[in-house]
Amino acid sequence: MQTSRKQANSYQDKIIAELENSSTTTRGYNIWTDFERDILKKYYPTKDVQVIAKVLNRPVQQIRIQVSNMGIKKVGKNHEKIS
């Protein structure tokens, strides 16, 4: 199932709103903040990784490495949720 552009923009708007309302800022690619990890826990299982990478200003590969380290998996067709 593909995510429509309208849905992707809606997800991006929600994530951006959360980022803008946070007092936490990204301190560089090598350091992950608690807020960023919370975003990954909340959105990675069901949202597009490219949208998350864009709003967190991190490369997609870095997002994938971090979620792997955290044990977060995609949910949906052909995916099993692991908390």
Alpha carbons 8 and 49: distance in angstroms, whole number? 10
> Which tokens hold the place of 28?
């560089």
3-state helix, strand, coil in the chain (%, to 5): 55, 0, 45
Per-residue pLDDT tens over the stretch 16-44? 787 777 655 555 446 899 999 999 999 99
pLDDT, position 82: 41
Predicted TM-score (pTM) of this structure: 0.60
